[in-house]
Amino acid sequence: MSTSHRGHRPAVAHGLLALGLVAVFADIARAEDDVGTREAGTAQLDEIVVIGSAPQVDVLSLDTPNLTGSRLGLDARDLPASVSVVTREMIELRGARTALEAIESAVGMSGGTSVGSIPNYATRGFTGNDITVMRDGIRQNTASQSARPLDAFLFDRIEVLKGPASLLYGEGAVGGAVNYVSKQAPTEHRGEAQFSAGSWDSYRAAAGAGGPTGVQNLYFRADASTSRRGGYVDNSDSRYDALAGELRWQPSADTSLRLSGTVLADETLSYYGTPLVYDAVIAQDGTQSVRRASTATDRLVNARIEPGTRRNNYNNGDNFADGSNSFWRAIAQTRLSTHWTLRNETYFATQRLDWRNTESAVWNPETQLVDRSSFLLIYRDDEQIGNRLDLSWEGSLLGMKNQFLIGGFYDRNDQDRNSGQSGVPGSPTPASVTLHDFDPGYGPDVRASRTVGVLTRNTAIYVEDVLSVGESLKLVGGLRYDHIDVERRSYVGAEPYDKRYEPLTGRFGAVYALTPAVNVYASYSRAAQPVSQLVSLNASQDDFSLQKGRQYEVGIKASALGGRASMTLALFDIEKNDLLTSTIVDGTRINSQIGAQVSQGAELALSLVPARGWQIDANLAPTWTAEYEDFNENLGTGVISRDGNTPPNVPKMVAGLYLMRSWPQWSLQGGLRYIGEREANNNNGIQLADYTALDAAITRRWKNLSLTLRGRNLTDERYAEWSSAGGLMLRMADPRSAELGMRLTF
């Protein structure tokens, strides 16, 4: 399905902007090269030593090897794709406490906690299951496992690959892939400890250290973190605990063995959102009435969040979401010769999740009460084991430098759960409550039971290649073939179900160096994704094939002023085809895969050190097209067209501006994040207003010790970060808050 006619004028405008920026950076780079040449040909200048310069944070990481975008470890500059890296330094500088807060520093990323305690992300017009979340490059299949709340202290960095990522990570990942990269054992002794306390009875403590063990060529890393938060909203306490460690044996420069493990536990009292209050509804035919809204068709009259409800939690009083996870890895790597390198990774992961929540609390203007429904029990007990083997070669092919990798992958995920458990009442007691001064009551007297087991097995083979054609051009490509087998077995008498898929996905691109510091690129990539998560597939979806995703992307990656200025710019066009859509023919509903979801936009990032002690970072990500095409939503009682509508929680614009001014003992930091207007549901009858959040911090340093006073949402802006219950519940962000933190390095 061609989409070349959509967004033509914005695409042309941004294309001209791209050409202009290329010219500017290329001219600067050439000028620097010319200056260097003249100086080399005339006289040797005296050495100038600058003392006391402000620490520079490498925000764009253009010259850092990146494994999220390619298993060949190419620098970000040489990838024909967009990869945003949130480094350890950025996490500390911007005060990110959780993985969600850290990821929001990445270009074009927005997020929120949507269902109970599960973080959710949006980028490039896609959200939810269209964005894969991984731990150290390993996907854990379900969002409730891979996207549990995580302390940002655990990570060395977080990398975000934009657009289809099936080449590296298998089915899914049409919108992008988020990769949490763990800290590794260092070769020198180093450590740090942190403690912070702030608003709403929150505190956070973490410590980690690593270095030589005393045994020759054996190094270690150990980290621990704990955080508690009372929550601004009533009955929304949370607790996150984590332990992580690694042993690395390096018997020679060519061979290493890494053994690592992470154990996580979280306990959350869930806040799903605040009910949107309204006076009446307007139906499709224009008639107005006072009744509970249908989010599929209605528009609201005088919709608002009542100020007095801001701290109310309408969940049942005995709600909880408790998770425990572990992730273990053994990685062996050896250089077989001057050309060949072998890497093998074996991993084992576990998950246990217990869940008891009322997930919908919707205002009813007729009764003037909040109707509570969608009481849900969740039980998960999963074990995942897998192995990845890579063989890479580096040398010369037909006189040209070439890097090649072939790999094999096997993953087995055995999951027990309570999908479709019968006998669970749909509401807590009481089922409806007043808007103020209510008794939250209790959920039904029922426990979760094991009802179904799902076994997914994925075997894959993939290849990647980078061919250097001359000094300036690199051709980068890869293909992946997956064999996916899903077996669903019932513990309550239902028929078993089996399904197999065999997608072929890939990416092809070219990178051209206009100068050593300015690269332009273009790429095409494909992805494949089932009509629902693999673990949720059942017999009713047996006739449907994988959804297909493709992306065209062009862009620029450039640096200048001796590395003190850097820039990336990307233009993208994504289309996901074969969405499941419904039509009514002669009174009979027919499901077919003819729908599509499309997006077009741009991402611009700039980093500048204009003078000693200053740093300015900015990003801008407009999405001028994000909509459904030929898509009818199944409402159960009928179908309705969503053609031209925007998917929920997808912002039209994401932007950020971050400033740092540093002196030898003091530093000031400030950041603005802007999130544009979003739709709250597929009906596009409710909009979430745009917002700007302002954070700032002041830090005092004494050698290895620093104290930071940080303020968040300093303008006390009231905004919704995410919508749920069809847009009739809005998860409101915290108001103005403050925290005092200490950091010690040793």
pLDDT tens across 66-83, in order? Answer: 888 889 989 999 999 999
Q: Would 2 be classed as within a structural domain?
A: no
CB 454 within 8 A of CB 535: yes
> For residue 531, what pLDDT is reported?
76
Residue 65 DSSP label = B
| 15 φ/ψ angles, rounded to the nearest 5 degrees | -65, -40
* Both tokens assigned to 85: 């890296």
> For residue 142, what pLDDT is reported?
62
Q: Would 607 be classed as within a structural domain?
A: yes
Q: Would 238 be classed as within a structural domain?
A: yes
CB 68 within 8 A of CB 75: no
CA atoms within 13 A on the CB side of 478: 31
CA distance 426 to 524: 46
* Both tokens assigned to 83: 């990869």
Segment 231-249 mean pLDDT: 95
Q: Would 1 be classed as within a structural domain?
A: no
> For residue 524, what pLDDT is reported?
96
**Cα angle 340-342-343, degrees, rounded to a multiple of 5:** 150
Q: Would 715 be classed as within a structural domain?
A: yes
- Strands, E, within 586-652: which ranges? 588-608, 614-629, 632-634, 639-641
* Bridge partners, 191 (sequence order): 209
Least confident of 1-5, 239-243, 274-278, 560-564: 1-5
> For residue 141, what pLDDT is reported?
63
User: Identity (one letter) of the amino acid at 403?
Assistant: Q
Q: Which residues contact 632 (CB under 8 A, 6 or more apart)?
A: 581, 582, 583, 595, 639, 640, 641, 642, 643
> For residue 582, what pLDDT is reported?
54
The CATH number that applies at residue 684 is 2.40.170.20
Q: Which residues contact 296 (CB under 8 A, 6 or more apart)?
A: 633, 635, 640, 682, 683, 726
Classify 282 in phi/psi space as left (phi over 0), alpha (psi -120 to 50) or beta.
beta
> For residue 594, what pLDDT is reported?
66
More confident call, 726 vs 257: 257
pLDDT tens string 576-603: 988 876 555 555 555 667 688 999 999 9
* Bridge partners, 462 (sequence order): 407, 480
End-to-end CA distance of the chain: 58
> For residue 143, what pLDDT is reported?
59
23 pLDDT more than 60: no
> For residue 394, what pLDDT is reported?
96
Instruction: Work out whether the CA dihedral 166, 171, 173, 177 comes out positive or negative.
Output: negative
CA distance 145 to 73: 27
CB 633 within 8 A of CB 584: no
Express as a percent the part of the chain with pLDDT over 70. 89
User: Identity (one letter) of the amino acid at 550?
Assistant: R
> For residue 174, what pLDDT is reported?
86
Radius of gyration of the chain (CA): 26
Reported residue count of the chain is: 746
Least confident of 18-27, 133-142, 200-209: 18-27
* Bridge partners, 376 (sequence order): 357
pLDDT range class, residue 56, cuts 50, 70, 90: low
Q: What is the chain's mean pLDDT, rounded?
A: 88
* Both tokens assigned to 720: 């919704």
* Both tokens assigned to 572: 């993208």
* Both tokens assigned to 20: 């202009």
pLDDT range class, residue 515, cuts 50, 70, 90: very high
Segment 600-627 mean pLDDT: 96
> For residue 144, what pLDDT is reported?
55
* Bridge partners, 411 (sequence order): 386, 458
CA distance 388 to 543: 31
pLDDT tens string 166-190: 778 887 778 888 999 999 999 999 9
| 89 φ/ψ angles, rounded to the nearest 5 degrees | -65, -40
Please tell me whether residue 746 adopts helix, strand or coil conformation: coil
Segment 292-311 mean pLDDT: 93
- Domain extent at residue 560: 8-745
Segment 293-297 mean pLDDT: 89
Segment 492-502 mean pLDDT: 91
160 pLDDT more than 80: yes
CA distance 275 to 293: 12
Q: Which residues contact 543 (CB under 8 A, 6 or more apart)?
A: none
pLDDT range class, residue 232, cuts 50, 70, 90: very high
| 639 φ/ψ angles, rounded to the nearest 5 degrees | -130, 155
> For residue 40, what pLDDT is reported?
40
CA distance 185 to 216: 14
Residue 239 DSSP label = E
Q: Which residues contact 551 (CB under 8 A, 6 or more apart)?
A: 163, 164, 523, 524, 525, 572, 573, 574, 575
User: Identity (one letter) of the amino acid at 385?
Assistant: I
Segment 283-294 mean pLDDT: 93
Least confident of 57-71, 131-145, 496-510, 720-734: 131-145
> For residue 732, what pLDDT is reported?
93
CA distance 32 to 393: 35
Please count the structural domains in the chain: 1
Q: Which residues contact 25 (CB under 8 A, 6 or more apart)?
A: 517, 518, 556, 558, 559, 560, 567
* Both tokens assigned to 221: 């890393």
pLDDT tens string 325-374: 999 999 999 999 999 999 999 999 999 999 999 999 999 999 999 999 99
Count the Cβ atoms, other than its own, within 10 Å of residue 346: 15
> For residue 339, what pLDDT is reported?
96
pTM score, whole prediction: 0.88
Distance of CA 533 to the CA centre of its chain: 17
CA distance 660 to 653: 24
> For residue 1, what pLDDT is reported?
36
